[in-house]
Amino acid sequence: MVLTDNLMTYLVEVMLSHLAFTCALLLASVAAIRRFIRESYRVGGFGQKHVFITGCDSGFGNLLARQLDGKGLHVLAACLSEEGAADLAAATSSRLKTLLLDVTDSESIRRGVQFVSREVGERGLWGLVNNAGRSIPIAPTEWTKLEDFTKVLDVNLIGVIDVTLQFLPLLKKAQGRVVNMASVLGRLSLIGGGYCLSKWGVEAFSDSLRRGMQQFGIKVSIIEPGFFKTAITSVELIDTDLRRLWTRLPQEVKDSYGETYLEDYVKAQEFSMGILCSTDISKVTRCMEHALTAQFPRTRYSAGWDAKLFWIPLSYLPSCVSDFVVNMLLPSPKG
């Protein structure tokens, strides 16, 4: 009893002697508890809500479609291939409907809007998830051509904008949600090619969309995952594409990098991906689900330990620091 009294007395003395720190700690604790409670509230009526998701053949879109279907929402899953659509339909309930859609084709999107409009009726569309994307070509900027940029931008950015604009009337009816897939590479540009550019563009588009649509009751969330192993980020796919880009370079450019640069670059990427990449893509889809089902969704969601603890903090540091860290991860030319 005496020991307990002494301990309490000591703690009180410490708190009084560090009053500012104690107050800050208490405020932070109250804010964290309030945020946890606020984010735990969910919207109701899942059985009356429709969610349209692009890029459901595999990866995040596929898992999210199955996840939401299991929660009782009406999922409208857009796939690029008939095989992807058939596999998803076979793995889900009869509530889930699939359709073929190419986000780079405005006419395909228009047909998708007509399909979704018939499904949702006057209720409108509760959720739009812009998930479809591509990663390659990813390489040092000098290795790329203009068409390498447009291939990625057409899917990751222009496609997102086109889909969103065409679906906005249905979203306004339901005062629904837009969830856009960005990346930590929309905060910190690590590599050449169109991927980082496209994700920075998604960040900017989402911010302007959110501010413009607030008065109509539409909420916009951005998902910023770290590095995850999916079909579009496999080491084998990136490795193969790097070698393709290298073979088309003029000999003069190859010489400026050195004979071993390609292999050094591939090994550095494999090493970084091996350390940083997570196989648990549900970390991302849980964020997407929360953005669609929470009464108070976040504006931004970071998914993965590398996003929270490394990439996003690094993006706030001075450029000289982030440049140094990024350069440490990649080989230097030896030409």
pLDDT of residue 36: 72
Catalytic positions, written as ranges? 195
Instruction: Answer yes or no: is pLDDT of 183 > 80.
Output: yes
Instruction: Answer yes or no: is pLDDT of 1 > 60.
Output: no
pLDDT over 90 for what percent of the chain?
A: 73
Tens digit of each residue's pLDDT (9 = 90 or more) over 147-181: 999 999 999 999 999 999 999 999 999 999 999 99
Task: Give the whole-angstrom CA distance, residue 335 versus residue 228.
Answer: 33
Which CA distances in Å does 124 have to 31, 49, 68, 112, 177?
35, 9, 18, 14, 11
Tens digit of each residue's pLDDT (9 = 90 or more) over 3-59: 566 667 766 666 666 777 677 777 777 877 877 787 777 888 999 999 999 999 999
Higher-pLDDT residue of 190 and 207 is 207
pLDDT of residue 209: 98
Task: Give the whole-angstrom CA distance, residue 301 versus residue 242.
Answer: 30
CB distance 132 to 103 below 8 Å? yes
Residues ≥6 apart with Cβ < 8 Å to 199? 156, 182, 183, 185, 186
pLDDT of residue 42: 84
Tens digit of each residue's pLDDT (9 = 90 or more) over 58-95: 999 999 999 999 999 999 999 999 999 999 999 999 99
pLDDT over 70 for what percent of the chain?
A: 93
Question: Which residue type is seen at 202?
Answer: V
pLDDT of residue 186: 95
Report phi then psi at 186, rounded to 5.
-90, -5
Instruction: Answer yes or no: is pLDDT of 211 > 70.
Output: yes
Task: Give the whole-angstrom CA distance, residue 161 versus residue 204.
Answer: 11
Helix axis angle for 159-174 and 106-120, nearest 10°, is 20
Query: What is the pLDDT confidence band of residue 269, given thresholds at 50, 70 and 90?
Result: confident
pLDDT of residue 4: 65
pLDDT of residue 158: 98
Which CA distances in Å does 288 have to 64, 114, 129?
8, 25, 8
pLDDT of residue 234: 72
pLDDT of residue 10: 65
In the numeric block, which tokens belong to residue 208? 């302007």
pLDDT of residue 21: 67
pLDDT of residue 233: 65
